[in-house]
Amino acid sequence: MPPFYITTPIYYVNALPHLGTFYSTVVADALARYHRARGDRTFFLTGLDEHGLKIQRIAEERGLKPQVYADGIADKFRETWQRMEISNDRFIRTTDPDHHAAVAEMWRRMRAKGDIYPAEYDGLYCVGCEESKTEDEVVIEGGEKLCPIHRKPVEKVKEKNYFFNLKKYAPYLLDLYKRPDFIRPESRRNEVASFVASGLRDISVSRLKKSVGWGIPVPDDPDHVVYVWVDALINYVTALGGPEAVARGDSDGDGALWAGAHHLIAKDILRFHAVYWPAMLESAGLPPPKGIFCHGYLTVKGQKISKSIPATRVDPNAIVAELGDTFVDPLRYFVLREYTLGGDGDFTYESLFQRYESDLGNDLGNLLNRTISMAHRYVEGKVDRFAPDPNALPFKLEAEAAWADFAPSRALEATWKLVRATNQYIEKSAPWALAKSPEYRPGLLDVLGRCLEALRWSALMIAPAMPNVANEILRQLGREEDAGTWPETWAWPGGNLTQPKPIFPRIEPERQASLIAKWMPAEAPLSPTSASASASTSGAPVAASPPAEIAIDDFAKIDLRVAKVVAAERVAKSDKLLKLTLDVGGEPRTVVSGIAAAYQPEQLVGRTVIYLANLKPAKICGVVSQGMILAAGDADVLALSALDREVPPGTRVR
Ligand SMILES: [Zn+2]
């Protein structure tokens, strides 16, 4: 079997762990656990990216040395991953000494190949992205050049840098993308291939030390530090012993693991991993990784995760702090089962609790509880026979194929087919009826043995997602010695059954509601500030009486923004509603607005409006509306809000 080496992105230390990093890390962990259970040689790497101008500035703002600041963040990540049962083999930091050595070695190799050369850099740089921008990439607003992602002015940089000859590697890269599994999903591969085919430019791979001090020095030229992204990517090689070990691929060391290297990434860092990184490796005489798997973004109730929107700050630590460490596994299960790896997904606490109740409580928990209870009640807990289950093997093979294919959601779905089929089998074979007569005892034992074996298989098959739950099920079955293996043959081997103990205690609806209220603070509803201002979301008439007085603090809860309508269309089966797509400076927003009687869709495109950004999203005629735009009028819309001069979308209105 080839080795399995899985990496997460190394997370930039400008943020603490959140739903997005939790998701990437849990996916990598589950894949690593699956491969270990199959007996594959496995290595799982996660860690932190600590260098760069952004970190230097954050630390300066706090009056800290960058290393001290990074140490504090590193502690938080380590604690979190430990708590979340993340089984990484190493937690790498780009400030680790062996990483410095690996970066220097990679640099020397690329330079020896003739791919690194000094030249004058004269261009634009976004510190938020830690990436240079071309004139085509920036947006110009109010005479300023802004990063299209951060909406902040890019910085002009003019200095002597070292460049990497990326252009030279275009044919190599295009050839590499022909490998079917090199970049997944396929849509991402096509995106990268067309980017490379449209022409590459050489990239700057260093900065002057006097402008960016926080980084790894360029070998033999201490006036320069290595560009933070070049530094960061090399971590994947550092962890296996550095470029030398990987180039040798020696099977007694970790170098051989490189043959099974898979980078799990989010789509915003695809270009670095799929273009720069393989070119750097080829230049340094190292083979490319085996594959790059790109997952989508998670939104929270339809909204992009953002530090400025409190309700989108889903904190796995806060959830577990409230519900206890036994909720770690359910939370892991939820993100693995709910989202198809590769696509985008939406998080809601309601669906988290729903899956907890249905998949875990009703299906798996119930199967465990009733099986062990019946075994004690009817046969004194001694079961030494079993019936075969013709479906178990196909379900297992389905799960294996899915894990091997980076599809945890499908793998768990296949596992649950076994769980649900076994619950149905209990209903059909009615052990309670068989228990009434001694002559049915062999049949009763067969039924119970089949259920116990199904539970044993299920425990082993859920273990990549829920290691603690798996261990607890095995403990109750008296099969602790099976932990860490994958089911092979269908044969209940016997076990000292313990007394049944519920593993998924019910969370009462009232408690669920109060937790959701705590985690998702209700957004302030828009109170019309004058008799003529009308909410246009639903087209509902506004009360005629003037609303109660509010304090300035109440108004401060309202997040009003300048928005530009980029698309408008009628909502099917409604003569009142239009669906608008708004540019508000970040991800586009969708708003359903009750203005169809007053405006034609084509009248709206290109128009600037005032947008209420932090209104709780609502589903209107099947469309999720994220906020609303302001309009004048009572029952009928009379006019839309507007501004008297042009300002960039996303600008605050107050
Ligand atoms: Zn940026």
Nearest Cα to Cα of residue 50 among 231, 266, 201, 181? 231
Distance 231 CA to ligand 1 centre (A): 19
Mean pLDDT score of the chain: 91
Averaged pLDDT for residues 480-508 = 97
Distance 200 CA to ligand 1 centre (A): 20
pLDDT at 341: 93
Distance 152 CA to ligand 1 centre (A): 7
Distance 401 CA to ligand 1 centre (A): 39
| Residue 617 neighbours by CB distance under 10 Å | 21
Residue 17, phi then psi, degrees to nearest 5: -55, 140
What b/e string do you get for 118-136 counting C-beta neighbours within 10 Å, with b at 16 or more? eeebebbbbbebbbbbeee
Contact present, 304 and 586 (Cβ < 8 Å): yes
- pLDDT-derived band at 552, boundaries 50, 70, 90: confident
Distance 572 CA to ligand 1 centre (A): 37
Q: Is 48 helix (H, G, I), strand (E, B) or coil?
A: strand
- pLDDT-derived band at 474, boundaries 50, 70, 90: very high
pLDDT at 310: 78
Q: What stretches of 316-379 adopt beta strand conformation (E)?
A: 345-347
Residue 445 CA to chain centroid, in angstroms?
Answer: 45
- pLDDT-derived band at 548, boundaries 50, 70, 90: low
Q: CA–CA separation, 246 vs 7, rounded Å?
A: 15
Distance 203 CA to ligand 1 centre (A): 17
pLDDT at 16: 92
What tens digit of pLDDT does each residue of 372-383 get? 999 999 999 999
Residue 73, phi then psi, degrees to nearest 5: -70, -40
Distance 13 CA to ligand 1 centre (A): 16
- pLDDT-derived band at 302, boundaries 50, 70, 90: confident
Distance 167 CA to ligand 1 centre (A): 23
pLDDT at 527: 33
Averaged pLDDT for residues 146-168 = 93
Distance 129 CA to ligand 1 centre (A): 4
Distance 140 CA to ligand 1 centre (A): 14
What tens digit of pLDDT does each residue of 358-367 get? 999 999 999 9
Q: CA–CA separation, 53 vs 37, rounded Å?
A: 42
pLDDT at 435: 97
What tens digit of pLDDT does each residue of 166-189 get? 999 999 999 999 998 999 999 999
Nearest Cα to Cα of residue 615 among 564, 562, 560, 570? 560
Nearest Cα to Cα of residue 526 among 491, 497, 554? 554
Above 80 in pLDDT, residue 556? Answer: yes
Distance 148 CA to ligand 1 centre (A): 7
Distance 177 CA to ligand 1 centre (A): 27
**In the structure, how many helices (H) and strands (E) does the chain have?**
23, 29
Above 60 in pLDDT, residue 529? Answer: no
Q: CA–CA separation, 482 vs 18, rounded Å?
A: 33
* DSSP symbols for 601-625: HHHHTT-EEEEETTSPPEEETTEEE
Above 80 in pLDDT, residue 534? Answer: no
Above 70 in pLDDT, residue 528? Answer: no
Q: Is 643 helix (H, G, I), strand (E, B) or coil?
A: coil
C-alpha to C-alpha distances, 551 to 10, 527, 555, 557, 627, nearest whole angstrom: 45, 12, 7, 10, 22
Distance 55 CA to ligand 1 centre (A): 14
Token pair belonging to 535: 């909410």
Averaged pLDDT for residues 466-489 = 98
Above 90 in pLDDT, residue 571? Answer: no
Contact present, 355 and 334 (Cβ < 8 Å): yes
How many CA atoms within 13 Å lie on the side-chain side of 470? 26
Taking the whole predicted model, whether its pTM rises above 0.75 is answered as: yes
Distance 339 CA to ligand 1 centre (A): 27
pLDDT at 386: 98
- pLDDT-derived band at 523, boundaries 50, 70, 90: low
Q: CA–CA separation, 261 vs 288, rounded Å?
A: 9
Beta partners for residue 118, in sequence order: 162
Side chain identity at residue 12, one-letter code: Y
Contact present, 235 and 275 (Cβ < 8 Å): no
Q: Which residue has the tokens 């990679």?
A: 106
What tens digit of pLDDT does each residue of 24-81 get? 999 999 999 999 999 999 999 999 999 999 999 999 999 999 999 999 999 999 999 9
Distance 171 CA to ligand 1 centre (A): 29
pLDDT at 544: 36
Q: Is 181 helix (H, G, I), strand (E, B) or coil?
A: coil
Rg (CA), the chain: 29
Q: CA–CA separation, 585 vs 598, rounded Å?
A: 26
What tens digit of pLDDT does each residue of 322-334 get? 999 999 999 999 9
Q: What percent of the chain has pLDDT over 90?
A: 75
Pick left, alpha or beta for residue 419 (phi over 0 → left; psi -120 to 50 → alpha; otherwise beta): alpha
Q: CA–CA separation, 641 vs 608, rounded Å?
A: 8
Most confident range (mean pLDDT) of 349-363, 586-600, 604-618 is 349-363
Contact present, 243 and 102 (Cβ < 8 Å): yes
**Which of residues 173 and 633 earns the better pLDDT score?**
173
Q: What percent of the chain has pLDDT over 70?
A: 96
